[in-house]
Structure 1
Amino acid sequence: MPNQPVIPENERPTKPAIVRGLRRRCPNCGEGMMFVGYLKVVDRCPVCDEDLHHHRADDGPAYLTILLVAHLLAVMMHFGWSQFRPDPMVFATVLTIVSVALSLYLLPRLKGLIVAIQWSRRMHGFGDTS
């Protein structure tokens, strides 16, 4: 295929890894699931046998989740209050449900993103030891 660039065998492109991480898939093959349960990263990909236990996501996914959810809710609060003037208890209940649901949805995807970036950049033990 002359139109596609040739990627060296040892290079790990970041963009495909990020997309795979957001889908909660192995950053190497994109087929195997990255998580067992809700947030526990598998030690090895069940499809391609890539080591994934090296990750150091720590608090990064939680910080990113809070950042995104807070900014989205701020816009929703401003728009909702200025346009509709709902009852304060209804407004607080709706915003609470939206924030919890959005946080639970985003957290594993952002953890997959961070693990995929670490894998593609060969950070924290993901580099070749040979």
Structure 2
Amino acid sequence: MSDVSVSDPNERPLMPSIVKGLQCRCPNCGKGRLLHSYLKVVDSCSECGEDYSHQRADDGPAYLTILVVGHVIIFFLTTMWEYMRPSPLTLAITMCSLAAVVALLVLPRFKGMIVAWQWAKRMHGF
């Protein structure tokens, strides 16, 4: 018997797809945009024509965003409190601003990553 494994010609590589999704690009070609507004997924890729009208990311991107934002906030909160001891109002304003900025930056990228992961694994109609 041979140890050579034959790969499926229909197999979609996971890691390159996820990287393209994190860049909000089409996981198939990497050229077309995956989102046409802040969080709205395009119906199809403008470059390769891949259909995304049936994708469903649901709450996955929000959960990942909360996880990341929570860790970032806790790190900066403890660091600021330990070394600067700001007033509670300053700390609250700083942490709320930081949380909003980080959440707004990572949410579309996580949505692109989830859609690309689903595309690579042929989930939800892909």
TM-score (norm 1): 0.89
Instruction: Give the RMSD, CA atoms, in angstroms.
Output: 1.3
Please tell me the residue identity of whatever aligns with 2:69.
V
> How many residues end up aligned between the 2 structures?
121
DSSP 3-state at the match of 1:86: coil
Equivalent residue, structure 2, for 1:26 = 26
Equivalent residue, structure 1, for 2:3 = none
The 3 A distance-change label for structure 1 pair 114 and 73 is same
Please tell me the residue identity of whatever aligns with 1:115.
V
Give distance in 2, aligned partners of 1:83 and 1:110: 32
How many percent identity over aligned positions?
52
1:92-103 correspondence runs (5 A): 92-103=92-103
Structure 1: 5+ residue stretches without partners: 1-5
Equivalent residue, structure 1, for 2:89 = 89
1:1-130 correspondence runs (5 A): 9-126=9-126
TM-score (norm 2): 0.92
Structure 2: 5+ residue stretches without partners: 1-5
User: Residue by residue, what CA displacement relative to the aligned partner does 1:56-104 show, whole Å, maximum 9, x if unpaired?
Assistant: 1011101110011001111111111011101111111111111000000
Please tell me the residue identity of whatever aligns with 2:100.
V
